[in-house]
Chains A and B, each alone.
Chain A
Amino acid sequence: MTATLDLRDVVVLADGRPLFAPVSLTVAPGAVATVLGPSGIGKSSLLAWIGGHLAPPLAGAGHVLLDGRDVTALPAEARRIGVLFQDAALFPHLSVGGNLAFGLAADVRGRTARRAAVAAALERIGLPDAADRDPATLSGGERLRVALMRTLLSAPRAVLLDEPFAALDPATRDRIRAMTLRHLREDKIPALMVTHDAGDAAAAGGAVVRLAPPDQPSA
């Protein structure tokens, strides 16, 4: 199910002007590439465009390929590109288990099978008894683990990480980051992470792209 993520000459445009020099990059299954850059240069907008979420007045140009297939023209929900947000973005009206089931792909059918899949996912992130909990009662690290598993259960072909660890305290941060990277590797999913933190890039161990102003090449 996994694929290689390819970016070809990708830029984000504000009023038709590029925010940074075009980015081209290939991420292999299980690898985690990192995008670094000063704040305001458009790192998060780059991820939003790749996922299909970028809203006017911003626009993007270039191509996103999954296993050689161009998904640039597809709507977000058809791309099968998961996103991990900094604040986890759990839905407040659903329980923890409800959030996971919301993500779980619809082709897992039958109540028993779906419950089992959710229970197994909670087991994997060390929260075996959390299915009925209110997401608002979780700690920041727990929320992020649930969000990670919600994304993985949707069987994404690639995952985007939008500074997901920035709000965590340093000790939790290392642990959650290690867990996230391990799961992405285990599931052989290519991932692209945006971060301020050089430690994140080092832990990811993949290619590093520094976004540069449009007159200098991104490297």
Chain B
Amino acid sequence: MGAARRALSAAALTAVAALVLAPVLAGLAVTLAMSAGHLPALGLSGPDAGPWLRLGAQPGLAQAVALTLWTGGAAAALSLALAFAAAPALHGSRAARLLAPLIGAPHAALAVGFAFLVAPWGWLARLFSPWATGWDVPPDWPTVNDPLGLALIAGLVLKEAPFLTFVLLAALAQRPVARDLAAARALGYGPRAAWRLAVLPACWPAVRLPVMIVLAYALSAVDPALILGPTLPPTLPVLTLRWFAAGETAMVLPGAAAAVAQALLVAAAILGFLGAERLWRARLAAQAARGDRGRPGRPGRGAALVVALPAAGAFAALALWSVAGRWPFPAALPATWSAEAWGGGQGLWRAAAATAGIGALSVALALALAILWLQLAGPLARAAEAAMALPLIVPPTAFAFGLAVALLRIGLDPGWPAVVAGHLAFVFPYVLIVLAGPWRAFDPALLRAAAAVGAGPVRRLAAVRLPVMLRPLCTAAAVGFAVSASQYLPTLTLGGGRVRTLTTEAVALASGGDRRVAAAFGLLAAALPVAVYLTAQALPGAVWRNRRALRGSP
């Protein structure tokens, strides 16, 4: 590669990175400035420790911080433990394919469904009443919004455990698992010890970044915490949202300080994770060095059920409520059925169209930019790829409000273009992660053969590489769409409250409002990404029905 080509490649990568990261970086910078007392729109210029002092004086702050660390840390740890426990039983099984719909559904939709499942008036209570519980009216139990955040933890695990399991299974698919198991067992290790000491640790490099993303998300999530989390006080992200949404200028700057504190909390948690990782690896290495064969036994199958069943129950609860008519407690099923919630009286189909449109636009942009990125990628690009994961780690509260302020300052109105730009920051890294592996594994002989018959770079890309890569391109698009459809806070703040997607509406309707309508929004919010995913899986098989090598397995 010549120097000119290298300079061009570096310039293009920088441009893509700037375009994708701009919303996050600008939002972060403005939030940081506001937390230091700098907000020219209100005639304030820092630096000033006032926002931090006022933040520190907020009642319940310490408790909110403790709750945030507890719920986020416990949810991430539990999700990882469940994924590790479930992966051996699911590896190579057809049941693993059922995980995909759980991963595609937005957190908010799953959280609404989970609330409908476990709330005192929820489906579980109805299934067991009155014959087992004796309840004729819903009990006065805090099964959601409980002060310890247990419902929030469960709601987060519901989504993150299947996600990490999926990631782990994908990593296992790249390893010679049967051979490694045989090698360990031939040395005297039982199946359980062989998985624990030999097979799973070899997959760890592929799982690390996703675990950090899950940890950052669980600490910073707004929408599940609004639906399932504690209320007095709530977690820090919800508290921050409240201060910004209250419209009181007095709370904007302390809110910014809280947003920065949120980012610091995530950074501290990731440091804690890296420390725990070292301890865990040292422990495993020590056990391997002792030649400790562990207790005999097989890995259990129970964890796989724990990963899949509650989420399936949440879906079922949403489906039931969305078509319920009259449904008095404690009947297990509705007394009458009604399609009214699907009639669109609350803007259901308009929200679906907005979700689809914003998703399609941000995915199209992300795909184009990712192809450009990979096509130009030099040795620089791999290091830069890690930096592109930044939006997946930075808490949404830490940049979303600052970004809204920044947009106002440069005279851009909130609305769907701003929402698409914000979504792109999250969609692009996922699209890049999905595409990068297949792109680099692409058989270079095909491109050389094309060049040898006179095809230039554009034709090699358009006529050879992209058609052959149809399956990974479809998968990347489906993943990107699911990421876009699940965005809550960026959609809310960058849309100025006027861009209504299924996710924002499901969250708004979950607290109060008509349960049937909330269920319809939640179910459609979950179904749309799943439908896109299934289409994306079917498309290569249909297009390449006469090309066995390209059909792949769905």
Q: Please determine whether B290 and A91 come into contact, CB atoms closer than 8 angstroms.
A: no
In the complex, A91 Cα to B190 Cα: how many Å? 16
B267 within 8 A of A: no
Judge if A175 is at the interface, Cβ distance under 8 Å.
no
Q: Is A219 an interface residue (CB 8 A)?
A: no
The answer to whether residues A106 and B198 also contact, given A85-B179, A154-B187 and a CB cut-off of 8 A, is: no
A29 on interface, CB distance cutoff 8 Å: no
Residue interface bits A70-113, CB-to-B below 8 A is 1, else 0 = 00000111101111010101011110001001111110100100
Q: Is B189 in contact with chain A by the CB < 8 A criterion?
A: yes
**B296 engages A89 (CB within 8 Å):** no
Q: How far is the CA of A9 from the CA of B292 in the complex (A)?
A: 35
Q: B188 and A154: CB pair below 8 A? A: yes
Q: Check: B180 CB closer than 8 A to any chain A CB.
A: yes
Within 8 A of A (CB), among B280-297: 285, 288-293, 296
Q: Total A-B residue pairs with C-beta atoms closer than 8 Å?
A: 94
Q: Specify which of A55, A78, A93, A103 is in contact with B291 (CB 8 Å cutoff).
A: A103
Residues on the A chain within 8 Å of B292, using CB: 106
Interface bits A9-52 vs B (CB < 8 Å: 1, else 0): 00000000000000000000000000000000000000010011
A124 CB–B CB distance under 8 Å: no
B288 touches A94 (CB 8 A): yes
Contacts of A51 in B (CB 8 A): 182, 186
Contacts of A52 in B (CB 8 A): 185
**Chain B contacts with A in 175-193, Cβ cutoff 8 A:** 176, 178-191
Please determine whether B186 and A81 come into contact, CB atoms closer than 8 angstroms: yes
- B189: A residues at CB distance < 8 A: 77
In the bound complex, how far is the Cα of B483 from the Cα of A23, in angstroms?
57
Q: Is the CB of B291 within 8 A of A102?
A: yes
Q: Is B289 a contact partner of A98 (Cβ separation < 8 A)? A: yes
B186 pairs with A76, CB closer than 8 A: yes
Tell me the smallest distance from the CB of B519 to a CB of chain A, in Å.
43
Do B186 and A91 have beta carbons less than 8 Å apart? no
> Is B442 engaged at the interface, CB distance under 8 Å to the other chain?
no
- The answer to whether the Cβ of B450 comes within 8 Å of any Cβ in the partner chain is no
Query: In the bound complex, do residue B188 and residue A53 qualify as a contact, i.e. CB atoms below 8 Å apart?
Result: no
Query: B201 near A: Cβ within 8 Å?
Result: yes
A210 an interface residue at 8 Å Cβ cutoff? no
The reply to whether B185 and A93 contact each other, CB–CB distance below 8 Å, is no
Give, as a whole number of angstroms, the nearest-CB distance from B35 to chain A. Answer: 42
CA distance A89 to B191 in the complex (A): 16
Across the interface, B180 reaches (CB within 8 A) one of A80, A81, A89, A106, namely A89
Task: Choose among A83, A93, A106 the residue that contacts B290 (Cβ–Cβ < 8 A).
Answer: A106
Tell me how far the C-beta of A36 lies from the nearest C-beta in chain B, rounded to whole angstroms.
Answer: 22
Contact of B288 with A98 in the complex, beta carbons under 8 Å: yes
Contacts of B183 in A (CB 8 A): 83, 85, 89, 91
A114 within 8 A of B: yes
**Min distance, Cβ B445 to any Cβ of chain A, angstroms:** 22
Contact B291 A101 (CB under 8 A): yes
- Is A53 in contact with B291, judged by CB distance below 8 angstroms? no
B202 at the interface (CB under 8 A from A): yes
Residues of A within 8 A of B158 (CB): none
Q: Does A150 contact B (CB under 8 A)?
A: yes
**B201→A103 contact, CB < 8 A:** no
Q: Which residues of A contact B (CB under 8 A)?
A: 48, 51-53, 55, 75-78, 80-83, 85, 87, 89, 91-94, 98, 101-106, 108, 111, 114, 150-151, 154, 156, 160
Taking A91-B198, A103-B291 as given, write out 14 further A-B residue pairs in contact, using a Cβ cutoff of 8 Å, ordered by the A residue number. Answer: A75-B185, A76-B182, A77-B189, A83-B182, A83-B183, A91-B202, A93-B201, A93-B204, A98-B289, A101-B291, A114-B289, A150-B187, A151-B187, A156-B186
A-B contact pairs, 13 of them (CB 8 A): A75-B191, A75-B296, A76-B182, A77-B186, A77-B188, A80-B188, A83-B182, A83-B183, A89-B176, A98-B289, A101-B288, A101-B289, A156-B186
The residues of B with any CB-CB pair to A shorter than 8 Å are 176, 178-191, 194, 197-198, 201-202, 204, 285, 288-293, 296
